[in-house]
Structure 1
Amino acid sequence: MALTDLPLEDLDVPARPAARGGGRGWAWAAFGVGALVLVPVLALAWQAAQGSAGLWGHLWAYVLLPSLGQTAVLLIGVGAMVTVLGTAMAWLVAAHDFPGRRMLEWALLLPLAVPTYIIAYVYLDLLHPLGPVQGAMRAVLGIDSPRDFHLPDIRSMTGAVILLGLVLYPYVYLPVRAMFVMQAANLLEAGHMLGCSRRALFARLALPLARPAIAVGASLALMETLNDIGASEFLGVRTLTVSVYTTWVTRSDLPGAAQIALVMLVVVAGLVALERIARRRRRFAGSARRWRPVAPVRLSGARGWAALVIGLIPVTLGFAAPALWLGIKAFERIHNAGISAQLLIEARNTLLISAVATVVVLIGGLIVAFAARLFPGLAMAGTSRLASLGYAMPGTVVALGVLVPVAGLDRIIDAGAQSLLGQATGLLLIGSGAALVYAYFVRFLAISIGSIEAGFTQIPRALDHAARSLGHGASSSFRRVHLPLTRPALAAAALLVFVDTMKELSATLLLRPLNFETLATHLYGEAARGTYEEGAIAALAIVAAGIVPVILLARLGHRGGHGTN
């Protein structure tokens, strides 16, 4: 009988560490993975220390203060918008029943498929004074000249807050909706019996219970806002991320860029701390035997259709309108000029670098997750958290931290090759794309670890003990038991990592080899030149790829919802 054929329901036994004679190699490998994530942070601090005191004073007065101010305003604005919009949409679909509700539940996730730089790219074209929206408005009003009628410029802080909020609100919507669905009906019924109206029940009971979920979702949205470089630059907002890029690339000031990047790490640490504080002492208990889910209130007639229209507004603005416009522009481009050979090369580059990075990230995630299963103690738990650190760091910070050690290693390899072989290698690691893969590894390792650990939790510990009793060591049981049983989790992790690497702009923009363009950097270049129609095909391809994990996420959420409804 194969190990995986054993009856799982009767094999759940208490967890205990792996036998001390086996699995040591997995532990050391996990420590190595954690060290690879920590190296860019240490390198960043070392590089920042190379800057002079006078340089820091100049950066503080002329770069950091303006950038900090604009970053703070952007974070506050986006945080407020995603919290209000995400919570409102979650309450709408969780607590009410109306025509189209089931469709709206998953449609509200679709804006996640649109990267922030693409939403800015599209609306800059749509809302241009000579674009289709303002042109149609002037035609209706009978006005010929844009000078006589035009909308406020979308290139502003207000425009950035609105556009980023329209894309990032699902980070709040998803966990808050789950929290609303899981709330016990008897709690709300008790409040209703005490004389609370439906509005008061939301404000005084449902909303306070959902605060931990709101804190988690909002912190994720704010970290994505801090990571953004394309949308902020396109819309004229000088954030810390944009300042790192301009200080490094435009001014060739690597120590100054590292100092700004360290300030960004402080901001990230502050966001994480705020999220932890918001969830502190928020513990709620109830009787599992008496628990039952909330029954949604039926909205019929005009109220039901009004609820559907309200729910479709963020879906339309955050996904449908940009996707439709990209489809129109891509069709026009293909019809008039076809698909250029250069774009096909860029698509190949994108698929190749994303595939390589996905394999590397999955290997790292498997090592850390399996080592944590073998040795469920504080050391491995800390290693797992350390290895997940990169996901909280903006791509620009990761790229800057990766550049320093990789460039140093390139110099060592080049000197060794010249000494031994009389042949210079140049920037071997940076020029081959290895540095970019390393940055992806640091940035997205947390996704792999989280998905694989979730898969491991579905495997009873008794299978580990049965494998050892049959003479299999850690590596053998991994190949024969754990790897086959975690294939669904591996597939989900691979999909998420692959799509995220396709969409990543900040690290790709800074670490790509010379004459190596991806779909994301192609789109950035076209938008920077103002030739929006040239980048429509690349933007549409990125959005189409982003829809796949959103559909997977919606299916998982739909199953969870059925489990509670």
Structure 2
Amino acid sequence: MTFLVALVVASPVIAVVVDGVLNGREATMPRGLGGMVVTTLLLMTGVGLGTLVVGGGLAWLVTAYRFPGRDVLVWLLVLPLAMPAYILGFVFLSTFDAAGPVQSLLRDVLGDAVAFSVRSLPGAIVVMSLSLFPYVYLMARAALVEQSPTTYDAARSLGAGRRRAFWRVVVPLARPSLAAGLAIVMMEVLTDFATVQYFGVKTVSVGVYLVWKGSYDFHAATQISALVLVFAVAVLAGERLMRGRARFTQRGGRGAGLPAERLTGAHGWAATLACLLALAAGFVVPVIRLVGWAVAEARADPEAFVDERFGEYLANSLAVAAIAATGCVLLSLVMSHAVRIGGGRVVGSAASVTTFGYAVPGAVVGIGVLLVFAWADRALEALGVPNGTGLLVTGSVLGILYAYLVRFLAPAYQAVDASFAKIAPSMTLSAMSLGAGPLGVLSRVHLPLVRPGVAVALVLVTIDAIKELPIVLLLRPFGFTTVAVWVYQLAAENFWQKAALPALVIVAAATVPVYVLFRQIRATDRRDARER
């Protein structure tokens, strides 16, 4: 079963690679592809540096110093994860664009000489950095908290200043975690479609969608998808390279963590202000703007405030998300159970393959799913089945569900497998020695013990599916729209106020896993504090 799941998950990626190799000469590549590649590299580099400075800097600030509000801000700084970049993007545009309040105020005070355009690559870099910096922040903070103070204290005792000790001791020890955080950020940048569209930035992921929806040149879309896949593999390889060559270890346990210096007076309030600015720009101000638009829309036309289509779109989002989450969790249970009852390294390796889909951009997964169903069409027609799969993809949401399975099986499996890892092998062996079969062990022993992991997996996949945009845009059947697609369409046409309510629904839903993350990290920190 595990091998079958691995094959199903890997098939879209394999299809993209094979079609790209076999049919590359038939493709008519779009103009400006070289520019898309350069733009993608610049965007990834810019956002990587931005998140490293903001996320890494804030992690060092809340770990190495104590200042007013620090104990609360250390958790609140994760909240921008609940604000998808494509929502933060249109809020940013409405605020700083030529017709927005900021430039209008500047023109009134300073004249037209201060006009500037935010629909540009730098604008996209700023927005995506504000949305994604918590990934680096979380990884960096975890690495700093886990460091033993002995090495740092040794450097200080040898005459190194606080700044030199930071660069020569703290940063090298945190390098693997920083690399992991940056890899996640760059994968998110590579996957993004809507945000860069708002800012007029053409990346290779945008190229996949434009070619497929514009000219329906399947082979060209596959070629660009293969190029996107190359970017993804390069990011993963770079992260592995940084981890592989870096051999920075520490002796001793966690101890009491890095010594925190208390900041008083202006320095303390400056540190508080720095944290508040990042939190406000990445979450608080956008939420206030969205609530303000929603209230204004309700006052302007109370009867039309809630669009009659809203219920349908929300139901579509919840239905496909719930089905996808259920499927991912069931498969995760089967795979984790198979590994625990004696699957061996081969089964474990096959299970690991299923997690690769999360690193593949949504546009590539979408094209890969289309390829897989096209191959299935030809196979069925060769067997004498008329019309092959017919409207199985274009006439239903089956393609979306398959793509969701490929894309989101990884977080479900990791959450479920983490719960399985806490079960003592002796419990499994005892149940089997008493005559329980594999299904009996799963239902009577494993399942009751892994319910917390199952619940977390259901929540994570459901929220990820609700926010997903590129897959739905590529694979949705005629007339099928989700809340995420609706927000994108309204924002693309500058209907900011109408997009506010569905955007708030997405943000509220995305806050749930962030809250779960809050509780997990706080519980871990409290447990570690008791053990010290």
TM-score (norm 2): 0.94
How far apart are the structure 2 equivalents of 1:72 and 1:166?
Answer: 19
Q: Which residue identity is paired with 2:176?
A: P
How many residue pairs get aligned? The number is 526
The equivalent of 2:92 in structure 1 is 123
Where do 1:57-76 residues align within 5 Å? 58-59=29-30, 62-76=31-45
Deviation string for 1:1-55 (max 9, x for gaps)?
xxxxxxxxxxxxxxxxxxxxxxxxxxxx111100101111222234335645263
Alignment of 1:377-388 (within 5 A): 377-388=344-355
| Alignment RMSD (CA, Å) | 2.1
Gaps of 5+ in 1: 1-28
CA gap of 1:227–1:280, structure 2 versus 1, over 3 A, is same
Equivalent position to 1:471, from 432, 435, 443: 435
Q: How does 1:251-270 map to 2 (within 5 A)?
A: 251-270=215-234
CA distance in 2, matches of 1:187, 1:50: 54
Structure 2: gaps (5+ residues): none
Choose which of 349, 361, 365 in structure 2 pairs with 1:398: 365
CA distance in 1 between counterparts of 2:494 and 2:378 reads: 38
- Distance in 2 (alpha carbons) for counterparts of 1:186 and 1:529: 57
The reply to whether residue 98 of structure 1 matches residue 62 of structure 2 is no
Alignment of 1:219-238 (within 5 A): 219-238=183-202
* Aligned-pair CA distance for 1:345: 1.0
Task: Report SS of the residue matched to 1:375.
Answer: helix
Question: 2:103 aligns to what?
Answer: 134
How far off its partner does 1:225 sit?
0.2
Q: 1:562 Cα shift?
A: 2.8
Deviations for 1:339-398, whole angstroms, at most 9, x for unmatched residues? Answer: 011112111111111111110111121122222222353312321221111101000000
Q: Within 5 Å, which residues of 2 pair with 1:106-505?
A: 106-139=75-108, 141=109, 143=111, 148-288=112-252, 291-335=255-299, 336=301, 337-375=304-342, 377-409=344-376, 426-505=390-469
- Change over 3 Å in CA distance of 1:393–1:189 after alignment to 2: same
- Counterpart of 1:4? none
Please list the CA deviations of residues 88-127 of structure 1 after superposition, one character each: whole Å capped at 9, or x if unmatched.
0100011111111111111111111111111111111111
Q: Retained in 1: the 8 A contact 2:328–2:408? A: yes
Q: Is the 8 A contact 1:417 1:425 kept in 2?
A: no
Q: CA deviation at 1:252?
A: 1.2
Q: CA deviation at 1:426?
A: 4.0
SS in 1 for 2:395: helix
Q: Aligned AA for 1:228?
A: D
8 Å Cα contact 2:155-2:165 kept in structure 1? yes
Aligned to 1:41: 13
Q: 1:84 aligns with which of 40, 43, 53?
A: 53
Give the Å deviation of 1:301: 2.4
**CA–CA separation in structure 2 for the residues paired with 1:308 and 1:75:** 29
Rounded Cα–Cα distance in structure 2 between residues aligned with 1:322 and 1:544: 13
Higher mean Cα deviation, 350-359 or 374-383?
Answer: 374-383
Q: In structure 2, what is the equivalent of residue 6 of structure 1?
A: none
Q: Distance in 1 between matches of 2:211 and 2:32?
A: 9
* C-alpha distance after superposition, 1:207-254 (max 9, x if no partner): 111000000000000000000000111111110000000011111111
Query: Which amino acid in the other structure matches residue 12 of structure 2?
Result: P
Q: Distance in 1 between matches of 2:115 and 2:464?
A: 34
Answering whether residue 521 of structure 2 is matched by residue 557 of structure 1, we say yes
8 Å Cα contact 1:402/1:438 also seen in 2: yes
**Higher RCO (C-alpha 8 Å, min separation 6):** 1
Query: Which residue type is aligned with residue 100 of structure 1?
Result: G
- Counterpart of 1:362, as a letter, is V
Q: SS at the partner of 1:308?
A: helix
Could you report, residue by residue, the CA deviation over 1:454-499 in whole angstroms, capped at 9, with x for unpaired residues? 1111111110111012111121111101111001011111111100
- Where do 1:512-531 residues align within 5 Å? 512-531=476-495
Q: Distance in 2 between matches of 1:228 and 1:96?
A: 35
